[in-house]
Amino acid sequence: MAAMKMSTAVSLSLLLWLSIDLQTIPVSEAARILAVETIAGKSHWSFLSSVIRSLTDAGHTVTVFTPFPDGNRENYTEVDTSRDFPIKLNLDVMQAIQMFGEPFPLINNIATIARFYCDAINGNRELADVLASGARGRYDLLLIEPLGVDCVSHMADALGIPMIYTIPSPMITFIERQFTGHLSNPSSVPHMFANHAVPGTFVQRFTNAAMLTYSLVKTKYDQIVMRFTDPRPYDLAPTVSPSIIFQNSHYATESSRPLTPNVVYVGGIHLKPAKTIPKDILDFIEDSPHGVILFTLGSTMKVSSLPEHIEKALKEALADVPQRVLWKYEGEMKDKPKNVMTKKWFPQREILLHPKVKLFISHGGMSGVYEAVDAGVPVLGIPVFYDQPRNIEHLVLAGMAISMDLLSTSKEKLSNAISKLINDESYAKNAKIASIRFKDRPMTPQQSVVYWTEYVIRHKGAPHLKSHALNLTWYQYLLLDVMFVVLTFVFLVTFLVYKVLKCIRKLVFKNEKVKSN
């Protein structure tokens, strides 16, 4: 009986303690978030909009400046910015390759392209009104995609709120130090524009280091020149570093590398539950006894702009396969093979999840990469520019893809690659392994976004997550000042030893001379 009374007393004490303690835990309130899409690319917006959707579904209120307005909804308000810059859709493939196909020409244009977008964003009248001094206290957080040069972080300073970056690609190598305080080691981490997944050879490490050095120096030099020759008000605005970086990456498709605590991988956040495939497409798939192949170069490239000889090689190679082919193609295709269906748009995710899909022919955009990995489908990569070669090479490293150069494509090369990917079971097996790894995570990307966003707000910007390296100058970070002191000390010691030995030598010779006399 005494034991029961004691147990009851302990239980009541515990309940009382819990009731008091729970009252001290702050209840999460709906945060007011300002979001800005800085690049008029559909894949960029797909990533940011998915992050925003996660936050609004969690009850937070978001106001977003976007060039892809889709209509307001509960907790979500859009400001249309499409008039400020052209939408990147249906680009000519060859023109894109000539301008951005090689890393160094692309690096040469980074500052110019970024300047264009910087002007567009900072010149938006509605956004300028929001950034006015009277807007302080209206928002709790800034959610924004960074550009190749920093011209947007001053917005967080103007509003007096923490900032989160969304990066829809791998880490932007040449501006990474401004984000995290650190540089990727080129001996083990590939540059964003590299054509390899891991710099495994001397040549790859050499070119990787050269590319990193050149991109750092070139972008900084271009920034300085522009500030003097064509200055903008935002050039001199105070900058801040992000509290958190949501990056469109995952360990299944990104080689292991050191990360600071505030870099959060949320690759695949754009993946939604599959919808119903339109009847004509579904019938085409299910009536194929040998399965189907999906071919697309994404939302940016206009496949119909391919050179005639390349398009002919693609048609001839695909006409010979036993599978049926779904080919994203603008307009009417001349001499279309009998086993090919063309459309301006296909429900890519839904199709890749269909069990009859045997192969995905893709340019290697991050959205398509994660849709293929999630579905466990082998990939024939035909990268065009930007981070696409690197993305495809990571799939090659995972054993689920083959990469091909678009300009050297021939019927024979395509036929051999398609046959190998479909008939060699190891590719499908490795694709399934990558899919299992991709799905095995402690929380969904959506949950990660909500948790870390609320964490930043709860902890007033979470400055403890930022590296001390952000406070160092470039020469301090590279330990050049330490090396200078060490080398100076070594020089002084060496010089002192030299002088002492010289004096000893003189004394010895002087004594020998005296003895001889």
Q: Residue 36 maps to which CATH number? A: 3.40.50
Within a domain: 319: yes
Among 7-11, 15-19, 152-156, 378-382, which is the least confidently predicted range? 15-19
pLDDT tier for residue 154 given thresholds of 50, 70 and 90: very high
pLDDT tier for residue 512 given thresholds of 50, 70 and 90: low
Average confidence (pLDDT) over 320-337:
88
**What's the token pair of residue 303?**
């496949």
**What's the token pair of residue 268?**
């695949």
Residue 108 and residue 134 in one domain: yes
**What's the token pair of residue 115?**
């300047």
- Which 3 state secondary structure label does DSSP give 383? coil
Residue 44 and residue 182 in one domain: yes
DSSP state of 73: B
Residue 300, domain CATH: 3.40.50.2000
Select from 422, 394, 463, 473 the least CA-distant residue to 199: 394
Residue 305 and residue 425 in one domain: yes
Parallel, antiparallel, or unpaired: how do β-strands 263-265 and 163-167 relate?
unpaired
Q: Find all residues with CB under 8 Å of 233, minimum gap 6, and list them.
A: 122
pLDDT tier for residue 267 given thresholds of 50, 70 and 90: very high
- Which 3 state secondary structure label does DSSP give 476? helix
pLDDT tier for residue 517 given thresholds of 50, 70 and 90: low
Q: Answer with the residue of higher pLDDT: 507 or 79.
A: 79
**Residues constituting the chain:** 517
pTM of the predicted structure, to 2 decimals: 0.87
Indicate whether 2 pLDDT > 60.
no
Within a domain: 2: no
Count how many domains the chain has: 3
Residue 296 and residue 188 in one domain: no
CA distances from 460 to 62, 152, 457 (A): 19, 20, 5
Separation CA 225–CA 245 (nearest Å): 29
Residue 306 and residue 266 in one domain: no
What number of CA atoms fall less than 13 Å from residue 456's CA on the CB side? 29
Q: Answer with the residue of higher pLDDT: 19 or 424.
A: 424
Residue 259 and residue 299 in one domain: no
Within a domain: 41: yes
Give the per-residue pLDDT at 514. 63
- Which 3 state secondary structure label does DSSP give 403? strand
Residue 228 and residue 97 in one domain: yes
Within a domain: 188: yes
Residue 165 CA to its chain's centroid (Å):
11
Residue 298 and residue 192 in one domain: no
Residue 157 and residue 230 in one domain: yes
Give the per-residue pLDDT at 307. 81
Residue 109 and residue 199 in one domain: yes
Residue 412 and residue 293 in one domain: yes
Within a domain: 514: no
Separation CA 294–CA 303 (nearest Å): 14
Within a domain: 509: no
Q: What is the DSSP string of 353-368?
A: TSTTEEEEEE---HHH
Give the per-residue pLDDT at 27. 37
Alpha helices in 361-478 (DSSP H): 366-375, 388-397, 411-423, 425-439, 445-458, 474-477
The range of the structural domain enclosing residue 407 comes to: 279-439
Whether residue 49 contacts residue 156, with contact meaning beta carbons closer than 8 Å, is answered with: no
DSSP state of 409: -
Within a domain: 510: no
Among 17-31, 70-84, 183-197, 438-452, which is the least confidently predicted range? 17-31
Indicate whether 301 pLDDT > 90.
no
Give the per-residue pLDDT at 304. 73
* Per-residue pLDDT tens over the stretch 427-477: 999 999 999 999 999 999 999 999 999 999 999 999 999 999 999 999 999
Q: Answer with the residue of higher pLDDT: 298 or 463.
A: 463
Annotate 151-164 with b (16+ C-beta within 10 A) or e (fewer). bbbbbbebbebbbb
Within a domain: 7: no
Residue 325 and residue 375 in one domain: yes
Average confidence (pLDDT) over 375-387:
91
Among 202-211, 258-267, 298-307, 390-399, which is the least confidently predicted range? 298-307
Indicate whether 22 pLDDT > 60.
no
Select from 178, 173, 179 the least CA-distant residue to 199: 173
